[in-house]
C-alpha cells in the first residue's frame, strides 16, 4: 500500500490550467523531492494533497483513504480526518505571531484533544530540543531569525504526529546562510524515515537526501526517478536545461 | 486687609459653590457611566458578530449587514435617538409595544449605533490577518471556531485596538447627547444649574468630569496596547 497515490489530477484557476493530469505515488518512509521551474504547478499540487485547494478531477488517496475519488470529494468531516494524517510546512512559516514558540507548538494538539496541556508541553520541549531551539520556548516568532522560525514550524507540524510531511519551498524565504540549518532538520527526518514530499530549489538537497525526484514542468510531471537518473541521465531535454541553469 | 478678607471669603464661597455643583452632578454620572458601560459591553460583541456576517461568503448576509452599517453610520446619532425614543410609538400596530423609557431607549440606540462602527473596525482587523494563518490553522486540524477564537480574533484585536480606543473616547462625549431626550445625565444637571444660577461654572465642572473620564480611558488603552504588543 502506498502512502500517497495521485492519479490524473487536474486543476484550473478559471481558464488557467495549472495541473493537467498529474500522476505519482509516494511509499511509506520515502523522501520525495519535487523540482521544476516556477509556475509549473508544484505548490498547487501540494496544496491539493492537503485540501488547501480543491482539484477539478482525478484521484487522491492518503493511506488508501480517498480524499478525492473520481473527481468527487467526501464531506468536510471525512476530508479533515484524512488530512489530519498530514502536516505541512510553508515557505513563509505561518507561525502564529501572537503566541510564544511554546504556545505555537502546544495549541494544535491541545485543540485536537490529542494531548493534555502538560503532555503537549513535554513533547514540545523535546521537539524544540531536537530542532536545536532549546531555550527559545518563551520567545515570540518576531524575535527569531528566519531559519529559527522555519525550525519552529517544522516542530509544530511534528506535534500532530503526522504520517506524511509536505514542504513547500521551506528555504526559499531564507537568507542563503540560514538554509543549511533548516535542511539539516529535514535531512534528519529523512534519516528517521519520515515520509516527506519536499518542493525545493535546493538541488544539492534533492540529490543527496531524496529517495525519489519528481521533475514538474508545464503542469505535469515530466519525469520521475532516482536523483542519479534525474540529475545525471535525464531523458527530457527540459530537465537538462533546468538543472544546468540552476547548478 | 479688608480687601484680602473679602477676596478670601469670595474664594471660599465660590469654591464651595463649585464643590456643591460637582456633588449635585454626581447622580448624573450614573447615567453617563451606565450608558457608557452598557454600550461598550454590548456593542463590542455585537459589532464582532456583525463583522463576521459582513465578511460572510453568503451574499444576502453580507449585503444586509452592509446596509445596516450604512444606515447607522450614515445618519446622525441624535436622529436615531429621537427615532427610538419618540418615533417608534407611532409605528402602526406594533408601535405601542416598542415604547421604551428614556434611558432604555438611549441604551438601545447607542448599542445599535456603536455596533455598526465596531463592525467596520473589526472587519478591517479580520481582513488584515494573512491567509497563511488560516491555512496553517487548517492543516494543524483547527476547527473554524478554534481558528477564529484562538488565531484570528487575537490578531484582529491588536490591529483594531487604536480605533477601538478612539471610538470609546468618542462614546464618552456622545453620552451627553441623551440630555436631548431628557435623561438626567451630567450635561442635563449642568445646563439646569447654569440656567438657575445664571453662572457658567457648571459647564466647566461638567467639562472636567468628561476630561477625567477620557483621560482615564486613554491611559487604560495605552496600557492595553502595550500588553497586546508582540
Ligand atoms: N489562487 C490562485 N489563483 C489563480 N491562479 C493561481 C493561484 N495559485 C496559483 N495560480 C497560478 O497557477 C500557476 C502555478 O502556480 P504554482 O502552483 O504556485 O506553481 P509553482 O509552485 O510550481 O511555482 C501559476 O501560473 C500561478 O499564477
Ligand atoms: Mg510554489
Reported ipTM: 0.95
User: For residue range A111-121, what is the model confidence (pLDDT) as tens digits?
Assistant: 999 999 999 99
Q: How far apart are the first and last CA of chain A?
A: 35
Least confident range of A230-234, A243-247, B20-24, B36-40: A243-247
What percent of chain B shows pLDDT beyond 70? 100
User: Using CB atoms, which residue from B132, B154, B158 is nearest to A94?
Assistant: B132
CA torsion sign for A222, A226, A227, A233 is negative
User: For residue range B46-99, what is the model confidence (pLDDT) as tens digits?
Assistant: 999 999 999 889 999 999 999 999 999 999 999 999 999 999 888 888 888 888
Please tell me the distance in Å from A193's CA to the nearest CA on chain B.
Answer: 21
The whole-number pLDDT of residue A247 equals 67
Q: How many CB atoms lie within 10 A of CB A222?
A: 19
Interface of B with A (CB under 8 A): 130, 132-133, 135-136, 138-143, 146, 150-151, 154-155, 158, 230
The whole-number pLDDT of residue A214 equals 97
The grid cell for A152 is 519552529
- The pLDDT confidence band at residue B230, using thresholds 50, 70 and 90, is confident
Q: Which of B227, B159, B169 is nearest to B40 (CA)?
A: B169
Nearest ligand to the CA atom of A91: 2
The whole-number pLDDT of residue B125 equals 95
- Decide: A216 and A42 in contact? Cβ < 8 Å: yes
Cα B70 from Cα B40, distance rounded (Å): 20
Mean pLDDT, chain A, whole residue set = 95
Q: Kindly give, in sequence order, each residue whose CB lies less than 8 Å from that of residue A134, ignoring residues fewer than 6 positions away.
A: A125, A128
* Lining residues, ligand 1, CB within 6 Å: A 13, 16, 18, 38-44
Amino acid at each position: 500500500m502506498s502512502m500517497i497515490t495521485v492519479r490524473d489530477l487536474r486543476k484550473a484557476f478559471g481558464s488557467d490550467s495549472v495541473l493537467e493530469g498529474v500522476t505519482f505515488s509516494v511509499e511509506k518512509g520515502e523522501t520525495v523531492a519535487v523540482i521544476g521551474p516556477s509556475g509549473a504547478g508544484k505548490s498547487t499540487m501540494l496544496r491539493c494533497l492537503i485540501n488547501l485547494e480543491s482539484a477539478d478531477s482525478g484521484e487522491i488517496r492518503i493511506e488508501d483513504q480517498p480524499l478525492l475519488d473520481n473527481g468527487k470529494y467526501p464531506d468536510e468531516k471525512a476530508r479533515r480526518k484524512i488530512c489530519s494524517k498530514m502536516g505541512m510546512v510553508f515557505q513563509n512559516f505561518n507561525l502564529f505571531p501572537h503566541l510564544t514558540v511554546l504556545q505555537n507548538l502546544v495549541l494544535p494538539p491541545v485543540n485536537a484533544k490529542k494531548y493534555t496541556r502538560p503532555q503537549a508541553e513535554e513533547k514540545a520541549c523535546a521537539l524544540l530540543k531536537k530542532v536545536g531551539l532549546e531555550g527559545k520556548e518563551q520567545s515570540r516568532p518576531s524575535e527569531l531569525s528566519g531559519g529559527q522560525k522555519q525550525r519552529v514550524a517544522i516542530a509544530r507540524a511534528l506535534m500532530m504526529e503526522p504520517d506524511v510531511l509536505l514542504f513547500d519551498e521551506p528555504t526559499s524565504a531564507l537568507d542563503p546562510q540560514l538554509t543549511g540549518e533548516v535542511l539539516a532538520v529535514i535531512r534528519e527526518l529523512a534519516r528517521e524515515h519520515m515520509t516527506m514530499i519536499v518542493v525545493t530549489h535546493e538541488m544539492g538537497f534533492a540529490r543527496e537526501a531524496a529517495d525519489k525526484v519528481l521533475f514538474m514542468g508545464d503542469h505535469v510531471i515530466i519525469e520521475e526517478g532516482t536523483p542519479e537518473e534525474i540529475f545525471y541521465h535525464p531523458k527530457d531535454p527540459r530537465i537538462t536545461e533546468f538543472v544546468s541553469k540552476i547548478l | 486687609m479688608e480687601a484680602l478678607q473679602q477676596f478670601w471669603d469670595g474664594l471660599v464661597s465660590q469654591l464651595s459653590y463649585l464643590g456643591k455643583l460637582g456633588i449635585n452632578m454626581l447622580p448624573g454620572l450614573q447615567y453617563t457611566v451606565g450608558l457608557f458601560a452598557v454600550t461598550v459591553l454590548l456593542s463590542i460583541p455585537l459589532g464582532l458578530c456583525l463583522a463576521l456576517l459582513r465578511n460572510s461568503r453568503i451574499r444576502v448576509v453580507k449585503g444586509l449587514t452592509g446596509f445596516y452599517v450604512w444606515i447607522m453610520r450614515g445618519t446622525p446619532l441624535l436622529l436615531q435617538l429621537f427615532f427610538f425614543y419618540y418615533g417608534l410609538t407611532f409605528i402602526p400596530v406594533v408601535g405601542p409595544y416598542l415604547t421604551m423609557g428614556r434611558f432604555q431607549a438611549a441604551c438601545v440606540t447607542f448599542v445599535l449605533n456603536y455596533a455598526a462602527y465596531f463592525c467596520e473596525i473589526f472587519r478591517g482587523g479580520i481582513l488584515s490577518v494573512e491567509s497563511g494563518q488560516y491555512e496553517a490553522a487548517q492543516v494543524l486540524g483547527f476547527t473554524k471556531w478554534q481558528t477564529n477564537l484562538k488565531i484570528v480574533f487575537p490578531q484582529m484585536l491588536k490591529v483594531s485596538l487604536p480605533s477601538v480606543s478612539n471610538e470609546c473616547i468618542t462614546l464618552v462625549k456622545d453620552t451627553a447627547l441623551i440630555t436631548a431626550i431628557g435623561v438626567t445625565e451630567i450635561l442635563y444637571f449642568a445646563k439646569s444649574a447654569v440656567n438657575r444660577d445664571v453662572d457658567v461654572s457648571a459647564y466647566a465642572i461638567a467639562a472636567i468630569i468628561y476630561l477625567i473620564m477620557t483621560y482615564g480611558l486613554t491611559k487604560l488603552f495605552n496600557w492595553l496596547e502595550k500588553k497586546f504588543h508582540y
